[in-house]
């Protein structure tokens, strides 16, 4: 007897563009949400797997929206990598059920005139280097949270300051969502995974690993007992001077409020962050000062 073929379970999540369809698909389900700008890689897949684990039997939603509001006039909005088919595959294999892919007029209709600005944590570092960036991030994240209405939302620790800004907004505005940070995924070289790595050749990626080596040098100095902020910072700068094509935005040793201190205490939320342009691409990375801080410890609220 010939058996009928097994029904094929598609690993590809359904793509939804209309917020009303999204609401209908999610009604009555526990929801975990991973907001992204697409060009999904293993770092995103890790977030999606954590989302899957957070709501067994619930729905995992990944948004793919390249948010114009968080790009400055001279930034890479028009060339930001876009690959919806690849995103469906990565998201599906990691366990996503739905991919929310709104267009710009849906998110920013004519006359859109509201923004969310989070003061304090969003001001130094990337806030200073990219004016308006975090207002764009906070505004779109609030909109996405309102559209998806998740129980849990997951963000990568690679964007440490973004995570702090989102946590502060969620706390200040009493948003009913549990924000979780997920540790950075790295190449074997130490380079943090990022959609922008797609701009780099294999050789350039290998060279860009100098950023993580600089962060590790700061960790090593901290482990040796150094607590002076300036000296910790210098340990990282000494490594960066060995890099060929690097223009530094900042290398900063900060507390949970994202501000530098003269003397660092033993707070596990202390962090070293770096942003630099290498081979024409802006890259960021960060690590806890205390190398032993457990992965995922950032679920303790920064800021
Ligand atoms: O981290 C990102 O990819 C973006 O900043 C986010 C959170 C999806 C908002 O556009």
Q: Which atom of ligand 1 is nearest to the CA of 63?
A: 8
121 in any annotated domain: yes
pLDDT values of the chain reduced to their tens digit, one per residue, 303 residues: 556 555 444 578 999 999 999 999 999 999 999 999 999 999 999 999 999 999 999 999 999 999 999 999 999 999 999 999 999 999 999 999 999 999 999 999 999 999 999 999 999 999 999 999 999 999 999 999 999 999 999 999 999 999 999 999 999 999 999 999 999 999 999 999 999 999 999 999 999 999 999 999 999 999 999 999 999 999 999 999 999 899 999 999 999 999 999 999 999 999 999 999 999 999 999 999 999 775 544 433 444
Residue that finishes a domain, picked among 182, 201, 223: 182
- The residues carrying an active-site annotation are 44
Looking at residue 297, the DSSP 8-state letter turns out to be G
pLDDT at 244 (0 to 100)? 86
- Which of these, 210, 76, 214, lies nearest to 133 by C-alpha position? 76
Q: Which atom of ligand 1 is nearest to the CA of 67?
A: 10
- Prediction pTM value: 0.94
Residues 209 and 252 occupy one common structural domain: yes
Alpha helix segments (H runs only) across the chain? 19-26, 42-54, 84-94, 104-107, 126-129, 133-148, 160-172, 202-208, 210-223, 229-240
Nearest CA to ligand 1 atom 2: 36
DSSP 159-218: GHHHHHHHHHHHHHTT-S-EEEEEPPPB-TTSPBP-GGGGGS-HHHHHHHTHHHHHHHHH
2 in any annotated domain: no
Residues 50 and 149 occupy one common structural domain: yes
CATH of the domain at 289: 3.30.1300.10
In whole angstroms, give the CA distance from residue 288 to residue 270. Answer: 6
pLDDT at 300 (0 to 100)? 38
Structural domains of the chain, count: 2
Residues 217 and 249 occupy one common structural domain: yes
Residues 116 and 235 occupy one common structural domain: no
CATH of the domain at 36: 3.40.50.620
CB 269 within 8 A of CB 256: yes
Residues 166 and 91 occupy one common structural domain: yes
> Residue ranges for the binding site for ATP?
37-44, 156-159, 185, 193-196
pLDDT at 2 (0 to 100)? 59
pLDDT at 107 (0 to 100)? 98
Q: In the structure encoding, which two tokens stand for residue 265, read together? A: 């205490």
Residue that is written with structure tokens 């995992």 in the block: 60
Q: In the structure encoding, which two tokens stand for residue 231, read together? A: 């000296």
Residue that is written with structure tokens 């690959």 in the block: 83
Residues 136 and 200 occupy one common structural domain: no
pLDDT at 197 (0 to 100)? 97
Residue that finishes a domain, picked among 142, 164, 182: 182
Other beta carbons within 10 Å of 110: 5
Domain coverage including residue 114: 14-182
In whole angstroms, give the CA distance from residue 118 to residue 178. Answer: 18
> Which residues have CB under 8 Å from 110's CB, separation 6+?
none
């Amino acid at each position: 007897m010939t058996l009928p073929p097994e029904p094929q379970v598609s690993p590809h999540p359904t793509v939804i563009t209309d917020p009303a369809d999204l609401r209908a698909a999610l009604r009555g389900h526990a929801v975990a949400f991973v907001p992204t700008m697409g060009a999904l890689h293993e770092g995103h897949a890790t977030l999606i797997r954590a989302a899957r684990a957070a709501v067994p039997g619930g729905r995992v939603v990944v948004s793919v929206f390249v948010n114009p509001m968080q790009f400055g006039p001279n930034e890479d909005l028009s060339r930001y990598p876009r690959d919806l088919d690849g995103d469906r595959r990565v998201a599906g294999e990691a366990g996503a059920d739905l991919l929310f892919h709104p267009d710009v007029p849906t998110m920013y209709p004519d006359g859109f005139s509201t923004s969310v600005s989070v003061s304090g944590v969003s001001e130094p570092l990337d806030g200073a280097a990219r004016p308006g960036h975090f207002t764009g991030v906070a505004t779109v994240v609030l909109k996405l949270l309102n559209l998806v209405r998740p129980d849990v939302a997951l963000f990568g620790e690679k964007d440490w300051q973004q995570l702090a800004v989102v946590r502060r907004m969620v706390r200040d505005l009493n948003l009913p969502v549990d924000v979780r940070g997920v540790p950075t995924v790295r190449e074997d070289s130490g380079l943090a995974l990022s959609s922008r790595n797609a701009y780099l050749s294999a050789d350039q990626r290998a060279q860009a690993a100098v950023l993580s080596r600089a962060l590790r040098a700061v960790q090593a100095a901290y482990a040796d007992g150094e607590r002076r902020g300036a000296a910790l910072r210098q340990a990282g700068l000494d490594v960066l001077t060995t890099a060929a094509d690097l223009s530094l935005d900042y290398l900063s040793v900060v507390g949970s409020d994202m501000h530098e201190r003269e003397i660092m205490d033993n707070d596990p939320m202390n962090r070293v962050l770096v942003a630099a342009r290498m081979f024409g691409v802006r890259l960021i990375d960060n690590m806890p000062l205390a190398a032993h801080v457990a992965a995922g410890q950032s679920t303790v609220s920064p800021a």
